[in-house]
Structure 1
Amino acid sequence: MTRLTPTDAGRAARLDRLSTDGNVLMVPMDHGITMGAVQGLADIESTIDAVTRGGADAVLTQKGIAPRVHPNKNGAGYVVHLNASTTIGPDEDDKRVTGTVKEAVQAGADAVSLHLNVGSKYEPKQIEQLAAVTEQAREFGMPVLAMTYARGEGVDSTDPESLGHAVRLGEELGADLVKTGYSGDADSFERVVESTELPVLIAGGSKGTNRQTVEMVRGAMDAGASGVSMGRSIFQHERPEAIASAVSAVIHDDADVDAALDAGGFED
């Protein structure tokens, strides 16, 4: 029997803190660097408290927000994101490095994440960024979430073949989990999940109705996804704890759409 090294044991322990029985409800709230202090992020402390009370396994921010995270996350996991851009900059797809794995350790993170726009003109540089992060992360026993989106001129961001290529890229470069866009239905998303052996999380995408949000999560889970990393659909919701509870019911209790909406106290 192979004995885990201390570094491997640390990585496994941190991965456990990001999930419940292997399934993940993560709420990224790094949007403050991208969009500013939008609804749900000005008082990020209250939002973190609400979504984790609602069942979120982990929250994600940039490193500078760590002091506002830890007192309010109710024992949930914490991910530090390591690259960014802004909506008012020259090109939002041009993600630049904002931190290191060592800084994430110092900030009390259980994992780090990096965003890649696969198919964009920035893809080569972002591949190098992810390769460097996974190398650093192995030294610290730190899990890596690769946010690999199919984005770029002429790229269909919902095409299952492109999404499958994107998540496979994350695995090839040494990530532990991957996040990507949703293809739109369970049947096509199965092809994405089958492209990698890593746990696949879906992004939230554009904010929809409560039912549309829950239906998307239900479809992804039916396709074999391991959960979601869903931002604005949760943290900008007028009732963030309630929508987190509804999404959690699908991910953690295998609830159908109507039961999940009931769990959140929604009628629609």
Structure 2
Amino acid sequence: MKSFRLKRLFNAKSNRCFDVAVDHGFFNQAGFLQGIEDMRKVIEVLVDAAPDAIQLTLGMARHLQEIPGREKPSLVLRTDVANIYGKTLPENRRFSLMIEDCMLQAVRYDAACVCVNLFQIPGAPEVHAECVENILKLKPQADYYGVPMMVEPLVFQPNEKAGGYMVNGDETAITYLVRQAVELGADIIKADPTDDVSRYHKVIEAASGIPVLVRGGGRVSDREILERTQGLLEQGASGIVYGRNVIQHPNPKGITRALMAMVHDGASVDAALAMVK
């Protein structure tokens, strides 16, 4: 039954997926709200741009699913919330908590997929342990309800160096954590890009046939994100999950259509740039 939902998530022509992540408000960081202050408007713009999926929280999913008609992006439902994205880690209680009965909630909201974190944070092994527990609880529910489980292995840089939400592009660290996510039963992987994009095939190899969607990371120039996307697709990535590079863009519809053309039609960087403009 999971295959039914996967067919809604991955494009029939390319067998790839472009998921726009707009779940940032879940994590109680003021800086995360830039560009998504009014989620109703954001979702209207994204639905018009027509990516394959939009990643939302339980509280915001209704704005997508209440839109009438069949021609709208699939819902990827975020299942967990954490307090580890700030410039300094909380001293007394660091956590990654999961929604109660999240798979039942996913079915009720007609989600095509659920997403759960697998954090590796220097100095916070207890958060990694909570993530593993979350995934182990979620896996049998995912199988029972027939909902694909997307695991998001995130390797953090030390907080004193980067703080919170910065990608650690170390190939070895990413590869090992991706492999753990696959071993824990992931149906889809959402992983960081490596610093050297030409080495990303090693991450794909470690996923052992599980499709890998690549995170966008922090906001960069149009050419940089498009060139990186091209390189990742050439390395075997099954798609992308970008957030800030879409929702903080001055033309979210244009950049979405440009990225969709690259992901599904093999458009060149220059052709995609022309779509943005």
TM-score range, shorter chain: 0.7 to 0.9
Deviations 1:135-167 (A, max 9, x none): 111110000100011236599921112111111
1:81 aligns with 2:81: no
Match of residue 6 from structure 2:
15
Match of residue 4 from structure 1:
none
* 3-state SS of paired residue (1:123): helix
- Hey, what's the Cα distance between the residues in 2 that align with 1:114 and 1:93? 17
Opposite residue 136 of structure 1, the aligned amino acid is: Q
Deviations 1:169-227 (A, max 9, x none): 12111111001111133321111111111111111111001111111111110110011
- Hey, what's the Cα distance between the residues in 1 that align with 2:94 and 2:72? 33
* Match 1:233 to one of 245, 252, 255: 245
Opposite residue 251 of structure 2, the aligned amino acid is: R
Match of residue 26 from structure 2:
33
- Hey, what's the Cα distance between the residues in 1 that align with 2:105 and 2:270? 42
TM-score with structure 1 setting the length: 0.88
Opposite residue 255 of structure 1, the aligned amino acid is: A
* 3-state SS of paired residue (2:95): coil
* 3-state SS of paired residue (1:132): helix
- Hey, what's the Cα distance between the residues in 2 that align with 1:63 and 1:96? 14
Deviations 1:19-62 (A, max 9, x none): 21320100111101223572332222222232233241000111
Match of residue 149 from structure 2:
144
Match of residue 134 from structure 1:
139
Match of residue 48 from structure 2:
53
Deviations 1:78-113 (A, max 9, x none): 011111124568279732213411112122211111
Match of residue 97 from structure 1:
98
* 3-state SS of paired residue (1:13): helix
Match of residue 222 from structure 2:
210
- Hey, what's the Cα distance between the residues in 2 that align with 1:176 and 1:93? 27
Match of residue 234 from structure 2:
222
Q: 2:79 touches 2:115 (CA, 8 Å); kept in 1?
A: yes
Q: For structure 1, list consecutive stretches of 5 or more residues without a partner in the other structure.
A: 1-7
Q: 1:180 touches 1:200 (CA, 8 Å); kept in 2?
A: yes
Decide which moves more: 127-136 or 65-74. Answer: 65-74
- Hey, what's the Cα distance between the residues in 2 that align with 1:173 and 1:163? 15
| Cα RMSD, aligned residues only | 2.3
Q: For structure 2, list consecutive stretches of 5 or more residues without a partner in the other structure.
A: 162-166
* 3-state SS of paired residue (2:168): coil
How many residues in Structure 1 have an aligned counterpart in Structure 2? 256
- Hey, what's the Cα distance between the residues in 2 that align with 1:244 and 1:110? 20
- Hey, what's the Cα distance between the residues in 2 that align with 1:19 and 1:49? 21
Decide which moves more: 194-203 or 71-80. Answer: 71-80
Match of residue 269 from structure 2:
257
* Match 2:111 to one of 104, 109, 123: 109
